[in-house]
Amino acid sequence: MQEFLLPVIKSALQSAAIETDKPVQIEKPTDKKNGDFSTNIALLLSKECRRNPRELAAELIGQMIFPDGTVERIEIAGPGFINFYLTPLFIMQSVEHILLEGKGYGSSCAGKGRTAIVEYVSANPTGPLTIGRGRGGVLGDCIANLLETQGYSLTREYYFNDAGRQMQILGESVRYRYMERCGRDIVFPDSHYQGEYIREIAEILFHEHESSLIDSDDPGIFKDTAESIIFSSIKKTLARIDIRHDSFFNEHTLYIAEENGKSANDRVLELLESKGFIDRYEGATWFLTTKLGQEKDKVLVKSSGEPSYRLPDIAYHLDKYRRKFDLIVNVFGADHIDEYPDVLEALRILGHDTSKMRVAINQFVTTTVDGETVKMSTRKGNADLLDELIDDVGADATRLFFIMRSKDSHLNFDIELAKKQSKDNPVFYLQYAHARICSLLRIAAEEVGFKPDGSGAHLLQRLSLEPEIQLGFTLLDYPEVIRTAIRLLEPQKMVEYLHSVAEQYHKFYQECPILKADPDIRTARLFLSLATRQVLRNGFTILGISAPESM
C-alpha cells in the first residue's frame, strides 16, 4: 500500500539535490493522529545535511509530486516527521482491488520460480506426538502456507529415523509387553518406554499371532510393527489439524553405501577432512570446531564406529543443498538450540551459501488447567498428548493457540479458555466476524437481491465515514502483514492482524447500518463486508483454521 510513496520521496530527494545511501523508511504510525503513513527521512538526514530536520522536511515536501487523488494532506510533526494523510477515495478505490484479486489477494510473485523446503515435526516414530511437537508442527505448517502465497514451489518435509538405538529400545519395550501378555513373568525396565500405547501394540501382536512369537527368530517384528503403527498414528494426528507432509526423509538412507561404496555420511567426512576440519583421537572422529572458536570439538563418529547424530544431520542438510532449494527453513524446539550452529558451520566450510538457510525455534509449551500450570513431561504420559488436546479443544483452537503467541515466548496453553464457546476465546472472536458477514450477505441476497458479482463495487467510493475508512485501510495492510510474517518467520503477526480486522469490522457493523441504508450506500457497505470476508478467509487459510458460515 505504501509503496506508491517511495518513488515520490526518492524523487523529492533528487530534486532537493540530496544524495544518500540511507534507506527511505515509510511506516504506519500507531496513532492515527500521526497520519496514515509517515517517514522519518528528514530526521535521518539532518545530520549529514547539517540542517534542521523540520526545515529539511519542509523543503522535501515542497518537492513532492503525488499521483492525483491519493494524498489529502501532508504535515510536519514532532521533531521532523513527515506525515501523509490519504484521501478516502483512494483508500476505497484500493479496497475495490481486494475484490478483484479475491483468493489471490495478498499473494505475490516474489517466490515465483524459486523452490523452498520447510522441515517440521520430524519426530521419530517412538511414540505418539506430544503437545510440544504440536506447536512446532503448526508453526512450520503456517510458515509453509505463508511461503506458498508468494509463489514458492514448496516441499514440506519430515525427517525421521527408524534405525537408531531408541527404535531398538522401542522394539524391546513391545517385546516385554508381549511376553507379559503371554503370561510370562517379566520385569519391565525403567529405561524403556512406559506408555500405554506399547501395551496396545503388544495386544495387536498377540491378537494376530497369539503366543507364537515368544521364541521367534525374528525379533524385528516387534520393532517393525511398532514403527508402522506409531507412524500411521502420528500421521493421523497431524491430519486432524491439517498438517500433511509431501516428503518423508529417512535418516537411515544417509548410512547406506551407494554404488561407489560410500554413504552420504562418508562423503561428509571426506569433504570436511579435505578442508582440514577432521581429526581422530581417543578412538573417535572429531569435527574440529575449536578451530572456529568453540570450546570443544564435536564427535562425528563414536569410538564404537557409529556416527553420532551430528554427522547425518550435516549430511541431511548437504542433501537439501544438493536438491538445490533456494530457501531452506528448519523448524524445531528450543531443546535443539545447540544443534544447528555446527551444521551451519559445516555447510559454510563446504562452500555453501548459508544465508539460504533459516531456522525457526519455538519455545516450550506449558498447559494451564483450572488456573494451574502443568509442566510438560514425556515420561509420565499424562495429559500432554497432542491427540488428547485436539479431542479436548478441537482442531481450530489447537492451531490458533499454538501460534497466537510469538514463537520466542513460552506458550501458556489455557485449556479451559480454548474450550470456551464464548467471546473470551480468540478463536471465536475471529470466526464470529466471518460468520456475521456470511449471515448478513445471506439476508442481503434474499431481501434486496444483492449479488456479489462486482457490478456495484465502484460504489465503494461513496463511503467516507470513519469506521468505513478505518476498516478499509486495515484491509489494505494484509499483503504487508504477510511479508512481515515471512521475514520474521512469525505467523503470530497474522493472528494479531486478523484480530484487528475483526475488531474493525465489528465496530463498523455496530455504527453503520447496512441493510437499512440508502440503496447505493447499502451496496457499498455490502461490498466492504465482502472485502473483509475475503481478507479473513485468506488469512484463515494461512493459519489453517475453518471459516464457518454461521455460528
Is the dihedral angle over the CA atoms 78, 81, 82, 86 positive or is it negative?
Answer: negative
Nearer to RNA, 20 or 412 (CB): 412
- Of residues 122 through 161, those in contact with RNA by CB under 7 A are 124, 161
- Shortest Cβ 417–RNA spacing (Å): 8
The rounded distance, in Å, linking the Cα atoms of 312 and 310 is: 6
- Of residues 165 through 204, those in contact with RNA by CB under 7 A are 165-166
The rounded distance, in Å, linking the Cα atoms of 12 and 25 is: 14
DSSP 38: E
Q: Which amino acid is at 436?
A: R
Nearer to RNA, 205 or 459 (CB): 459
Q: How many residues bind RNA (CB under 7 A)?
A: 83
C-alpha cell belonging to residue 180? 507379559
| Dihedral Cα 172, 136, 144, 429, nearest 10 deg | 130
- Shortest Cβ 141–RNA spacing (Å): 19
Q: Which amino acid is at 274?
A: S
| Dihedral Cα 251, 255, 256, 261, nearest 10 deg | 150
284 forms part of the interface with RNA (CB under 7 A): yes
338 forms part of the interface with RNA (CB under 7 A): yes
- CA 302, distance to chain mean position in Å, is 36
- Shortest Cβ 535–RNA spacing (Å): 16
Among 239, 256, 337, 448, binds RNA (CB under 7 A): 337
Among 334, 344, 415, 465, binds RNA (CB under 7 A): 334
- Of residues 362 through 381, those in contact with RNA by CB under 7 A are 363-364, 375
Cα–Cα nearest to 131, from 416, 427, 415? 415
Binding mask 471-500 for RNA (x = CB under 7 A): ---------------------xx--x--x-
Q: Is there a contact between 101 and 349 (Cβ–Cβ < 8 Å)?
A: no
Which helix (DSSP H) or strand (DSSP E) does residue 236 occupy?
Answer: helix 220-240
30 forms part of the interface with RNA (CB under 7 A): yes
Nearer to RNA, 148 or 414 (CB): 414
Binding piece for RNA, criterion CB under 7 A, among 103-111, 146-154, 240-248, 433-441: 433-441
Nearer to RNA, 245 or 493 (CB): 493
Nearer to RNA, 18 or 179 (CB): 18
335 forms part of the interface with RNA (CB under 7 A): yes
Please name every residue paired with 298 in a beta bridge, in sequence order, or none if there are none.
287
409 forms part of the interface with RNA (CB under 7 A): yes
Which helix (DSSP H) or strand (DSSP E) does residue 301 occupy?
Answer: strand 298-301
DSSP 75: E
50 forms part of the interface with RNA (CB under 7 A): no
440 forms part of the interface with RNA (CB under 7 A): yes
